[in-house]
Structure 1
């Protein structure tokens, strides 16, 4: 609980409002039958009835199932009509193990503004009707894991190559059971709505001989003129990578080559990416950690516009397991460099010039697909829920669903010209140096080369990541939009220049919240803004705890003083080059994860020439686009840093937004420059309902099915579920559990 002190006249009345007595009575039922009251402080989430929190944090403009659990994005592709097939691992909440006993289900979209579930023949949009393939055959007796699509493959049909699961558990932290994972093939005769499994063996039945693997899954199929040249193959050749690792040695990406015209046989060439256990490319933690096992890897060839198979810079994205203490030990990584012929085998190997983090928050299992019409490469990342781990499974029944995907992201090769060629630019990190068009080298080598040639600047190269251009159309669905005036503030003037600032004191640090002139009424909005911070604050210990940004949700100023509050902010802390999302919500850490999300971001010193021909220097600003949709929050900064997370607000009126400045007591009355400039601030409130054909009544969306999900017209052998381990179904009379579930907001 935080007390708020209003230190100026405009805030005084709110801060001195008399608190009314707290009535917990209607929130005090036990045994999982309580009805939530969002005007009163929350209880432990397990005390509430099943599905009673179904609408509380639900997204409106993100890909997600109508109910139950969505996992990894997978089997994405674009058909000949230009329609995108977006799908993922889907499972009932009530089964032997959620997100493990999975099928693949999805929806269709042409613009990411409107999706239609597969098999939507009767306008019934329960997501189980969108299931395209389930487990149960000889190649996938327990589960279906990730796969990727060949538009014209087996029998010249659209073809899915995926991982079939035989044994569980599978984990980088446990001995691998031989035969646990195989790579299997299925094809479709209805444009991917349903996958047929031919009566053939697994197309890759086991890891390479002698490999003591940590995992063997998530096949990624692709064509590459660059690989074909290196390996003396025909341009039509298909390649396939399997994400893996060698126990106590390090993660590996295993490369295969098409060995049969019908895609039923693949030849192992060797690892295309190979790193030691827990490799950290950057000494400053700008690159995450490779861990011990890769998952969901994509091999990409990109230029400034997106996909360029012939000449694009070489990238690999991957999930990395075990190298992180938080986030289920997961990092979402990418690598940039150059594939060269491996002299030790018949494979190619990536020379790593840079390694970065694709999503510093909950975003994981990221996958991509091409947009053939525009030569873009579009990516999605999955975020699981983020409740306290001791109650997360039980809370799943209270919210009736789990998992959500990010908005589509454009991935591309990005250059940053004019960066001063100094020691900072020469460090290993999420950047390399461009030596010529679409050619890069290690940062240190590039900086040394520039200096030897008499240049004092370099062009840095990295992976660009930004919201897909289609997302701009979200703004057309806004029910209101407004801009905030440009705003300058510093530590010493904030009290005299800001008429309604609210201050919070925490252990020698002041947090200042300056409310916007207006705030949204919902948690569905986009914010765009630019923030400039003093150059002297970067990597300077005297500025420890100094930070600036935006409050993204804050409880009402009239809330009783003895209530816990919802308070979340996004901010940049220049002393350690960290962009943060704080999550101090009323639910507290007993219910949800309240740890801040943090990502490393370097603001470069850019050299330019003014109109008089004089060389000038300036620090990059923070160019921010942030999206709130229910509890799900995504922020994109300078097209190089992305963080996605959940912010589980409780109160209905926790919607206030504003400017944010944080400073330690040591900076009060200091002569150090603390000036921050906010500009181009604009908010759009309101987002489209991207599943317009789904029912709006939650009772029609909630599905309490048990076991394994199969396609509605399953062409394959279904798996029989015996009910072992499933929690009991809630009684029908408990729907809608005594609260108004009239619409999904």
Structure 2
């Protein structure tokens, strides 16, 4: 999280091969608890877990922050930016390798420069609202300088009638992408995805992932770009599957593309995207936005010199899902060296010869319906997550396997099916959180819990920062929530009765979080979180999958990982200080509960060099910015 103020999207994450350092920028509105005059702050890490603020920002210094914790924008008492093309905000973007085949030659950052507001998928879009601008570094990412010729990609033609056009993100597997889609392009071509969409009366309105590419791979700077068609397109409000993948909505934002290779050697081209305008959820904090991912195959694009087709798509999806059905948005991804690669002292510059992990980062928004002036801040980022393709041979009936969902299924010669899906797990580096942590094991008396025994206390933790791990046997195939409903209780207070229940509900075929009693303060949202997860009958065991839970809690933020496939983030706000008890919840039906352990993580400080108190007074922007952003 930021030292204070509002934060949202993770921006331009990358790993510096020369200094072995992770860099992360993030959208920041210092001394405000609402979105507004957005710029970017900057932090670095050696492990993605513990971070250090950099005194030099992505864009400009700010003398009003003498502590140099955040120095991200100037002229606080007006909306003016440092230059006209980004006067109303520095929106999201990505870190682009200067040479896509050799990451050791450094990165540059492309960001969305905003000179007009408002911008939203459903409102009138004024031409030149958003452009793409470049910042560069010559000292391994410590300081950054705007390119004098910004913006490097101007707004698209007014004839497009767009919903938005922003968030340039790189395709880091550029050589593989070039060979699949543009085999005639020169080696060294860099590709960027911008998110947006077309409005009616455009002949085929709907969201789009616009593709751009450099036209001079030998240029010294990433300054010469051309539109190259659509990576992906959809009609308005199309849905792959209402249960498993939400909706593509009316316009996209914050969207990137990447390549994953599974254990069988099959390649999957994937996109991670945010869609606007078609979510119907009882939680008002989620608004109308979805996050989604899709994986499939690429097809060859237009030949050199041909005009791109505005209504075609280079990516044909085979499966679509949701990375998190809870309180996350604006996913940004990057490549990090594998754990084995990091241990090796061999220096290999060629990216094709190195092993990388695809890392997902996301913003977790707050979940309440009031302005938190007393907080002095809003928003944080979740733990880094590794994306990979999970696969298994299953024995489920054909109708369950071939349902259009967040997986692919291929029939094996023996009649079983090979099922694959995009999955997430905490990065291996999260183990560093436990270096000084205290472990609590399940008491012997609680190892055999009777069905329907209700709540059984397992641990009273000393703080609200902890990790819990446990395993739960699966429900019978014909179970409903009337015959089987079991899980664990988190953040229980013996004095106030506040509690949050995490369970698997067979009626929904989903992981659920019951928040009705999570806080005695009724202004906090307490709707139930529902995240569909299909449990497969594995050929290797002949049995249904059990449920393996990893739960990370950091005060109000709860991140839930199930079977290293599903991820669900939720927010709870207990009022009582003693809301740190954890226990088993065997409500109804036969269930086994085992391998419980809990860790107190209060000693793990994500920003160890940051002062304990970095709060600053809120600033009132005044009525002169009415219509752009409001108040504090």
Q: TM-score, normalised by structure 2?
A: 0.85
* Greater fraction helix: 1
The correspondence for 1:292, drawn from 228, 247, 250, is 250
Rounded to whole Å, the distance in 2 between the matches of 1:606 and 1:678 is 20
Rounded to whole Å, the distance in 2 between the matches of 1:520 and 1:576 is 31
- For 1:83-162, list aligned pairs within 5 A: 83-94=21-32, 98-119=34-55, 127-129=69-71, 135-152=81-98, 158-162=107-111
Residue in 2 that maps onto 1:462: 421
Residue in 2 that maps onto 1:258: 214
In the TM superposition, what is the alpha-carbon distance from 1:545 to its structure 2 partner? 7.4
Residue in 2 that maps onto 1:743: none
Please state whether the residue corresponding to 1:215 is helix, strand or coil.
strand
The correspondence for 1:400, drawn from 376, 382, 385, is 376
In the TM superposition, what is the alpha-carbon distance from 1:585 to its structure 2 partner? 4.0
- For 1:195-214, list aligned pairs within 5 A: 195-208=144-157, 210-214=159-163
- For 1:267-666, list aligned pairs within 5 A: 267-283=226-242, 285-304=243-262, 312-326=267-281, 327-342=286-301, 345=308, 349-372=314-337, 373=341, 374-388=355-369, 391=370, 393=371, 395=372, 397-420=373-396, 422-433=398-409, 446-447=410-411, 450=412, 454-485=413-444, 487-489=447-449, 491=451, 494=452, 512-516=454-458, 518-538=459-479, 540=480, 543-544=481-482, 546-556=484-494, 559=495, 565-585=497-517, 587-588=519-520, 590-608=522-540, 617-663=542-588
Rounded to whole Å, the distance in 2 between the matches of 1:272 and 1:586 is 42
CA gap 1:639/1:378 in 2 versus in 1, 3 angstroms:
same
Contact 1:585 1:647 in 2 (8 A): no
CA shift digits 1:197-256 (9 cap, x unpaired): 222142221125632211110001234223212312233111011011112522110011
In the TM superposition, what is the alpha-carbon distance from 1:427 to its structure 2 partner? 0.5
In the TM superposition, what is the alpha-carbon distance from 1:423 to its structure 2 partner? 0.9
Residue in 1 that maps onto 2:600: 685
In the TM superposition, what is the alpha-carbon distance from 1:707 to its structure 2 partner? 7.6
Equivalent pairs counted in the alignment come to 577
Gaps of 5+ in 2: 58-62, 342-354
Contact 2:376 2:618 in 1 (8 A): no
Question: How large is the RMSD of aligned CA atoms in angstroms?
Answer: 3.0
Please state whether the residue corresponding to 2:609 is helix, strand or coil.
coil
The correspondence for 1:226, drawn from 145, 157, 176, is 176
Residue in 2 that maps onto 1:235: 187
Please state whether the residue corresponding to 1:139 is helix, strand or coil.
helix
Please state whether the residue corresponding to 1:65 is helix, strand or coil.
coil
CA shift digits 1:634-672 (9 cap, x unpaired): 000112211112110110111111111334xxxxxxxxx
Relative contact order, higher structure (CA 8 A, sep 6+): 1
Please state whether the residue corresponding to 1:423 is helix, strand or coil.
helix
CA gap 1:528/1:324 in 2 versus in 1, 3 angstroms:
same
In the TM superposition, what is the alpha-carbon distance from 1:136 to its structure 2 partner? 2.6
Rounded to whole Å, the distance in 1 between the matches of 2:289 and 2:623 is 33
Q: TM-score, normalised by structure 1?
A: 0.72
Contact 2:31 2:616 in 1 (8 A): no
CA gap 1:565/1:676 in 2 versus in 1, 3 angstroms:
same
Contact 1:421 1:456 in 2 (8 A): no
Gaps of 5+ in 1: 1-63, 434-445, 499-511, 609-615, 664-673, 709-720, 730-745
CA gap 1:589/1:329 in 2 versus in 1, 3 angstroms:
farther
CA gap 1:199/1:246 in 2 versus in 1, 3 angstroms:
same
Residue in 1 that maps onto 2:197: 245
Contact 2:55 2:70 in 1 (8 A): no
CA shift digits 1:485-504 (9 cap, x unpaired): 5745565xx4xxx5xxxxxx
Which structure: larger Rg?
1
CA gap 1:194/1:81 in 2 versus in 1, 3 angstroms:
closer
CA gap 1:173/1:627 in 2 versus in 1, 3 angstroms:
same
In the TM superposition, what is the alpha-carbon distance from 1:150 to its structure 2 partner? 2.1
